[in-house]
């Protein structure tokens, strides 16, 4: 009788151990799956972004922010039709590009700046103080030609160094837009430099882009 009870207890313990073992295995499997899911989620975010990719996102955002702000200034301060048209194009094109970069940054877990850096603040302050012809020349030469040359150089460098496919895609998409803006800015600046007054280049065809 005692032997029978002993066997029953032993069987009960074995069954319980098997049940706990099964539950433990399931919990471990679930934990592993959750970990893999988390890795997959963060893998497309900051975890795999190189310093160069992160910088590319930040540079694109800063450039777009600056061009939008300077373009708005051109709309309110310039009396030249070509300069105003160029400024409006900068607001439209860079505003759209900024939205795209913000979406990209969010998907990669990158926090973008909410205001211009010291370099762009200084340029904006300089333009704010200028009026008439002085504003038009400063805006087209510095906010137009020089700024887009600088942006283009950074983008071309970023394209070569990019490791993240999404970052490279955005960079490569932006390059031809900036190249077009640079050519446009050079035409407008050239027209301004060849005129004697703020209305001298009003009929310049460069504003057609």
What separation in angstroms does the CA of 68 have from each of 62, 99, 129, 152, 175?
10, 12, 18, 17, 17
| 54-99 pLDDT per residue, tens | 999 999 999 999 999 999 999 999 999 999 999 999 999 999 999 9
Whole-structure pTM value: 0.70
Report how far residue 94's alpha carbon sits from residue 151's, in angstroms, rounded to the nearest whole number: 12
Which tens digits make up the pLDDT trace of 91-103? 999 999 999 999 9
Cα–Cα distance measured from residue 185 to residue 187, given in angstroms and rounded to the nearest whole number: 5
């Amino acid at each position: 009788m005692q032997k029978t009870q002993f066997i029953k207890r032993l069987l009960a313990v074995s069954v319980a151990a098997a049940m706990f073992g099964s539950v433990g295995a399931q919990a471990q499997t679930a934990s592993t799956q959750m970990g893999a899911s988390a890795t997959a989620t963060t893998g497309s975010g900051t975890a795999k972004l190189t310093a160069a990719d992160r910088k590319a996102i930040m540079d694109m955002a800063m450039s777009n922010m600056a061009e939008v702000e300077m373009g708005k200034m051109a709309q309110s301060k310039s009396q030249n039709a070509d300069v105003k048209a160029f400024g409006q194009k900068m607001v439209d094109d860079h505003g759209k590009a900024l939205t795209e970069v913000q979406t990209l940054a969010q998907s990669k877990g990158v926090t973008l700046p909410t205001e211009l850096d010291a370099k762009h603040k200084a340029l904006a302050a300089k333009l704010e103080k200028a009026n008439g012809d002085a504003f038009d020349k400063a805006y087209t030469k510095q906010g137009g030609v020089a700024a887009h040359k600088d942006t283009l150089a950074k983008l071309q460098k970023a394209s070569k160094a990019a490791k993240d496919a999404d970052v490279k895609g955005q960079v490569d998409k932006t390059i031809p837009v900036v190249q077009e803006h640079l050519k446009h800015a050079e035409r407008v600046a050239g027209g301004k430099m060849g005129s004697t007054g703020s209305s001298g280049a009003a009929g310049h065809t460069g504003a057609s882009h």
